[in-house]
């Protein structure tokens, strides 16, 4: 469409002329008459054509820009937003009950919790798999060990001791299918019982697993130093706490040393247990490494980890590092062989770690993710200097602090930009009493390299103005 060309719009329906114009422009985008990238007439021209006041058209354009339907840049005019055209609502089709539901993927993915799938080290993993298969003893193809292959437990004991400061031996490690599986073994299997203290902001799947096990959770207040573990002493009947001490999820930052010590002292005094989710402890950028909390007291801390952030969640490989007295109960809870992870994948990971490929992969991805983090921070400084990114010294995500009252509208604007991300409110415990902050949780690891810059550009377009 050329500047000043005709645009047919039906200004009908209830409400003001401004509301009718907004509704008509949305409809034109929905039904495809205004396609992505189409340049709209200047608001003065459209006002003259429709017999409206200039301010009415200008306000309508501004509203649709804020909602993500349109973009406006100096020198480029107002256009239909690229990759933001929503699908027109249609009546649901009748399909067989067992037919899978298919939804179009977002144009950009900045959700937290996933590594860059394109960066999986295929060649090194394949080489490790071949070596592991050739060297596998015959008993590897038998019923197996519910605790996991010794080769992997031995490799993990060495790696976790060296890289994360964990104090363990292979006999205290149980292999599982990930942190969710580990929590189900601990709480669904009756090894540990509630009520359980948790952080006021945390991973939703933690709460869903605990809810499924009928475990009541009690939120601890958070601040810039992590969970206020001093509050544990005032919680009646609570003998367990779930923490993310290396990099609090999602707000960022390590648990302060004094609060680590306070949590351990509480567990010792009450005969309690600390469950530590070390979900991305290997990825740090601007600070000294923060060791695992388990190193302070291996008899009071259950250390959980997996390769979901470092390699891929598709591998379904995780581990529990347990106090000695909990190994037997966890193995009893594990039960049937169908809950065990693939022996061949276990042997492959053991070789991958032993040959040094895991360390090299972590170092390579640490550099890549740091570069992405730096690009996000630079883009914010250029396009949205009033938005602060926090929790960026480590991990695979950042929290963008938003002006009060803008989180919902910003996530809506992001959706119109074809952008998948989460608001901070999604991770807030429903019983939390601390003041709620507005923010976005932006994962900078998920998108592949070739798509990352476009995703950040879409993010900047969605952010509220100063």
- DSSP result, 322-375: --HHHHHHHHHHH-SGGGSPPHHHHHHHHHHHHTTHHHHHHHHHHHHHHHHHHH
**pLDDT given at position 90:** 39
pLDDT tens, position by position, 200-250: 999 888 999 999 999 999 999 999 999 999 999 999 999 999 999 999 999
pLDDT tens, position by position, 65-80: 877 788 887 667 888 8
In this structure, are residues 217 and 196 in contact, taking their beta carbons and an 8 Å threshold?
A: yes
CA atoms within 13 A on the CB side of 360: 10
d(CA 254, CA 246): 5
Give the contacts of 389 (CB within 8 A, at least 6 positions apart): 376, 377, 380, 398, 399, 400, 401, 442
Q: Which domains does the chain have, with CATH numbers?
A: 17-80 (1.10.10.10), 109-117+360-462 (3.90.1150.10), 122-355 (3.40.640.10)
What are residue 176's phi and psi, to 5 degrees?
A: -140, -175
Cβ-in-10-Å burial (0-12, 13-18, 19+) of 188 comes to middle
Give the contacts of 32 (CB within 8 A, at least 6 positions apart): none
**DSSP line for 310-324:** TT-GGG--EEEE--H
Two tokens, residue 347: 């042997």
Coil, helix or strand for 399?
strand
User: Which residue ranges in the chain fall short of pLDDT 70?
Assistant: 1-6, 74-75, 83-104
What are residue 287's phi and psi, to 5 degrees?
A: -150, 165
d(CA 284, CA 275): 21
**pLDDT given at position 53:** 87
**pLDDT given at position 396:** 93
> Which residue, chain included where needed, has tokens 């006002």?
47
d(CA 185, CA 319): 11
pLDDT tens, position by position, 359-389: 999 999 999 999 999 999 999 999 999 999 9
Long-range contacts of 21-24 (CB under 8 A, 24+ apart): 21/50, 21/52, 21/56, 21/57, 21/60, 22/60, 22/63, 22/64
**pLDDT given at position 104:** 58
- The total of other beta-carbon atoms located within 10 Å of residue 269's CB is 10
Coil, helix or strand for 255?
coil
In this structure, are residues 255 and 129 in contact, taking their beta carbons and an 8 Å threshold?
A: no
What are residue 401's phi and psi, to 5 degrees?
A: -80, 125
Two tokens, residue 351: 């070789």
What are residue 422's phi and psi, to 5 degrees?
A: -120, 145
For residue 104, which of 91, 85, 118 has the smallest C-alpha distance?
Answer: 85
Q: What angle do CA 196, 185, 158 make, to 5 degrees?
A: 100
**pLDDT given at position 295:** 95
d(CA 269, CA 409): 47
**pLDDT given at position 103:** 52
**pLDDT given at position 67:** 77
- The total of other beta-carbon atoms located within 10 Å of residue 98's CB is 5
Two tokens, residue 214: 């009928």
In this structure, are residues 146 and 333 in contact, taking their beta carbons and an 8 Å threshold?
A: no
């Amino acid at each position: 469409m050329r500047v000043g060309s005709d645009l047919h719009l039906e200004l009908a329906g209830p409400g003001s002329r401004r509301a009718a114009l907004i509704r008509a422009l949305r409809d034109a985008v929905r039904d495809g008459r205004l396609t992505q990238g189409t340049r709209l007439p200047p608001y003065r021209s459209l006002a003259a054509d429709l017999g409206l006041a200039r301010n009415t058209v200008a306000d309508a354009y501004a509203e649709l820009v804020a909602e993500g339907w349109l973009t406006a840049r100096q020198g480029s005019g107002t256009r239909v937003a690229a990759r933001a055209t929503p699908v027109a609502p249609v009546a649901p089709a009748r399909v067989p009950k067992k037919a899978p539901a298919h939804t179009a993927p977002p144009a950009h993915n900045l959700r937290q919790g996933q590594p860059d799938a394109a960066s999986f080290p295929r060649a090194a993993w394949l080489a490790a798999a071949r070596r592991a298969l050739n060297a596998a003893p015959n008993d590897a193809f038998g019923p197996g060990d519910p605790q996991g292959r010794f080769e992997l437990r031995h490799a993990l004991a060495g790696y976790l001791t060296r890289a994360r400061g964990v104090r363990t031996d292979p006999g205290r490690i149980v292999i599982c299918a990930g942190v969710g599986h580990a929590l189900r073994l601990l709480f669904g299997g009756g090894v540990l019982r509630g009520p359980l203290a948790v952080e006021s902001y945390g991973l939703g799947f933690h709460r869903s697993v605990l809810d499924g096990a009928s475990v009541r959770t009690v939120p601890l207040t958070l601040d810039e130093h992590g969970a206020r573990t001093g509050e544990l002493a005032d919680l009646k009947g609570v003998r367990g706490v779930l923490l993310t001490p290396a990099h609090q999820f999602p707000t960022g930052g390590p648990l302060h040393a004094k609060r680590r010590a306070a949590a351990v002292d509480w567990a010792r005094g009450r005969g309690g247990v600390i469950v530590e989710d070390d979900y991305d402890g290997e990825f740090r950028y601007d600070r000294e490494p923060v060791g695992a909390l388990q190193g302070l007291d291996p008899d009071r801390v259950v250390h959980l980890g997996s390769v979901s952030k470092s390699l891929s969640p598709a591998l379904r490989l995780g581990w529990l590092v347990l106090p000695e007295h909990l190994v037997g109960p966890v193995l009893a809870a594990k039960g049937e062989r169908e809950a065990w992870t693939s022996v061949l994948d276990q042997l492959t990971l053991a070789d991958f770690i032993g040959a040094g490929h895991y360390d090299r992969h972590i170092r390579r991805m640490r550099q890549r993710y740091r570069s992405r983090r730096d690009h996000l921070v630079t883009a914010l400084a250029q396009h949205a200097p009033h938005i602060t990114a926090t929790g960026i010294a480590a991990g695979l995500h950042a929290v963008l602090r938003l002006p009060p009252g803008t989180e919902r509208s910003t996530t809506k604007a992001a959706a119109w930009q074809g952008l998948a991300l989460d608001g901070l409110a999604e991770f807030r415990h429903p019983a939390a009493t601390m003041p709620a902050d507005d923010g976005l949780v932006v994962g900078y690891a998920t998108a592949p390299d070739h798509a990352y810059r476009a995703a950040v550009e879409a993010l900047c377009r969605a952010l509220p103005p100063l």
